[in-house]
């Protein structure tokens, strides 16, 4: 599974943030500046290994995104081993909300078994018929995140890390300098990538916290301890009285 997203635009202006400087010599930035253009980052992330395939660009039109994606995805498929492509239930298109009638909308050729999952946002260009057909004919199942559900795309998570490393506290004067910084930070990340996990420890902490809360009256409000209603107090009193009678 891979996740794809486009980050930016980022301006070639003084960027806020901390930076490493010699003691007693803090970094300074001009209070007046000229805009030197913008740059963006195309990102492909494999959560299982943390590998990032990125490209810094000035525009993210279909003419830029689609050729880059097709080249990277072709390289990924070519590097797959036999074990990664063996037949399982998850290799069926219907398991990923791609029934035969939906496949027929984009391609007349029989689609092979699913070889790769690609998580995308709802950018209009990702629905282009030629691009979708190209993916389906090669066994790439496209999974679109719901509106307001960008948290399901881990490419956005790694982008926050990369952008912070590349831009915080820096002053780039041209878009080319911004692009070179973005390219360098992707190379540095891949030298020691960090795998990503769906949910992880934070999800477990939230689950335990939710179990410690008590829903109030069927609403979305919660209390830290159960609210004892009148009927519950009466039931408890009857139980206590019955115990005393015995």
E strands along 14-172, which residues?
A: 38-46, 51-57, 116-120, 140-144
**Statement: residue 103 has pLDDT above 60:** yes
- State the pLDDT confidence band at 15, using cuts at 50, 70 and 90: confident
The burial class, CB within 10 Å (0-12 / 13-18 / 19+), for 133 is: middle
Answer for the pair 115, 140: CB distance below 8 angstroms, yes or no: yes
CA 117 to chain centre: 13
113: left (phi over 0), alpha (psi -120 to 50) or beta: beta
Mean pLDDT of 92-117: 82
Q: Give the C-alpha separation, 133 to 66, whole Å.
A: 12
Q: Which residue has the tokens 């996740």?
A: 3
Task: Say which residues have a Cβ less than 8 Å from residue 141's Cβ, sequence separation at least 6.
Answer: 93, 96, 98, 114, 116, 117, 118, 135
- pLDDT above 90 covers a percentage of the chain that reads 16
Q: Contact 183/39 with Cβ under 8 angstroms?
A: no
CB neighbours of 91 closer than 8 A, spacing ≥ 6? 85, 113, 114, 115
**In this structure, what DSSP letter does residue 14 have?**
B
Residue from 152, 162, 187 nearest 47 by CA: 152
Of 101-115, 138-152, 180-194, 207-221, give the range with the top mean pLDDT. Answer: 180-194
pLDDT at 87: 55
pLDDT above 90 for 96: no
Q: Please give the mean pLDDT across all residues of the chain.
A: 81
Confidence band, pLDDT 50/70/90 cuts, at residue 231: low
CATH of segment(s) 2-191 = 3.30.420.10
Give the span between the Cα atoms of 192 and 160, in whole angstroms: 17
Quick check: 243 pLDDT over 60? no
Between 28 and 189, the more confident residue is: 189
Residue 123 has pLDDT above 90, yes or no: no
Sorted by where each begins, the domain ranges of the chain are 2-191, 208-245
Cβ-proximal residues to 227 (8 Å cutoff; 6+ apart), any chain: 214, 216
Q: Who wins on pLDDT, 150 or 6?
A: 6
What pLDDT, in 10s, does the model give residues 52-90? 999 999 988 888 999 999 999 999 988 876 555 455 667
Helix (H, G, I), strand (E, B) or coil at 49: coil
């Amino acid at each position: 599974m891979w996740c794809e997203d486009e980050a930016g635009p980022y301006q070639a202006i003084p960027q806020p943030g901390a930076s490493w400087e010699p003691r007693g010599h803090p970094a300074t930035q001009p209070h007046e500046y000229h805009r030197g253009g913008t740059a963006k980052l195309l990102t492909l992330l494999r959560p299982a290994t943390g590998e990032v395939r990125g490209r810094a660009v000035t525009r993210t039109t279909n003419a830029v995104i689609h050729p880059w994606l097709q080249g990277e995805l072709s390289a990924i498929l070519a590097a797959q081993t036999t074990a990664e492509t063996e037949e399982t239930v998850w290799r069926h298109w219907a398991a990923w909300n791609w029934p035969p009638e939906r496949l027929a909308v984009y391609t007349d050729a029989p689609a092979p078994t699913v070889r790769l999952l690609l998580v995308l946002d709802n950018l209009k260009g990702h629905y282009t018929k030629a691009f979708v057909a190209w993916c389906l004919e090669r066994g790439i199942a496209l999974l679109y995140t719901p509106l307001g559900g960008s948290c399901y795309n881990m490419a956005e998570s790694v982008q926050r890390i990369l952008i912070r490393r590349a831009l915080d506290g820096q002053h780039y004067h041209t878009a080319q300098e911004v692009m070179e910084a973005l390219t360098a930070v992707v190379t540095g990340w891949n030298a020691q990538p960090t795998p990503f996990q769906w949910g992880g420890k934070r999800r477990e902490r939230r689950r335990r916290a939710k179990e410690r809360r008590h829903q109030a009256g069927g609403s979305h409000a919660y209390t830290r301890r159960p609210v004892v209603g009148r009927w519950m107090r009466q039931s408890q009193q009857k139980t206590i009285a019955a115990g005393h009678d015995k």
